[in-house]
Amino acid sequence: MKNNLLKAMTLFCALLALSGCNKEGTRPSQNGNEQSSRNPIEQLRSFREQIETFKTNPGAKNSETITIDDALWDIENNFNLSFSDAESYYSQTKEHEFTLYLPITTDQRALVSDAVNLYFQVTEQARDAYANDGFSQKGFISLSVTNTEETDGLLQVTFSGKTGERSPYNPPIAHVDGPFGTDDNWLFAAPMGKCDDPDIPSGADEQLQEHLYAELIEPYVETGESVRNIYIDRKRFIFDGTTYPGVYYTTDPNHLCIEHEYMNDYYYTERQIITQTIPNQYHLEGYAPISIAIEGIELNNNALTHRNEIEYGVRIEVSKDEFGEIEDLLIQQ
């Protein structure tokens, strides 16, 4: 998520000199929540049985088909069940996008064998990205289908995988009037530091991320010893100061300091967007945030803002005896 130290400091100096910086836009967010009558545990169980069948008999084909929606749901949610660790704090994240193809029939269905084969391809692509993401204490956060396009009997499927650097996490101390006190005057992006101490390798974006994580995500729902939490039907939303009012946004590169009173204002605004605005706007019943990544960026018009990438999921419990623990993606089964 965060630029490395050299890049960030270069940005800082460039901004102070009123010169141009790297430009970054925002990706469109997903649109809402599609209701489904599926039984998620039964569907996960069924697809895992199909995976094991085709591992035992590679290349096997049969005439059994499933809908395209079910095929993509199976692939995304079985991958996240097997490999994703959403219940960790990540100080940095990276996104990895890749495109694969699923043969489909004229009635918008796919062979189960082709769906399983696509799952194997997805796993290999994700494993390669994960192995080369540059993180040392790595974790795979989430996989999602971001786009589909049908062409000549093939469904082009774009996947996005998010990996991250696991980081020791100490919940910040809250204050009476808000999480930020009089000593919390931060420059707009990490690692620029505090307004009066640029040697501290943090920034307003990272501080907001940590405090929102502390309140909205951590601690996780406790489970018994025989079960674990998984998060299905992942949805990702991206917003910044051009999307909703009250998110940090400025066109003045000479004033990058955010005083603690304004840090609290931005904190409460983003908390409301994450917990109320987006769930109400997109009808996210039963969803909860599972990942929060905030990054200070420059827009194409040279304005500065905080890019928020929020991932939601529906929590369910699964048996460890049946579904196992989270697997290491780098270890091929």
* Model confidence pLDDT, tens digit, residues 207-245: 999 999 999 998 788 888 999 999 999 999 999 999 999
pLDDT reading at 17 higher than 70: no
> DSSP label at 220?
P
pTM, two decimal places: 0.78
Task: Reply yes or no on whether the pLDDT at 282 is more than 90.
Answer: yes
pLDDT of amino acid 332: 80
Spatial distance between the Cα atoms of 68 and 75, rounded to a whole number of angstroms: 11
Q: What are the pLDDT digits (tens) for 64-95?
A: 999 999 999 999 999 999 999 999 999 999 99
For residue 30, the model assigns a pLDDT of 38
C-alpha to C-alpha distances, 301 to 109, 252, 258, nearest whole angstrom: 45, 12, 21
For residues 49-76, one letter each, b for 16 or more C-beta atoms within 10 angstroms of the residue's C-beta and e for the rest, the string is ebbeebeeeeeeeeeebbebebbbbbbb
Looking up tokens 């000593």 gives 183
- What residue spans define the domains of the chain? 9-28+169-323, 40-166
Rounded (10°) CA dihedral 239, 241, 247, 251:
150
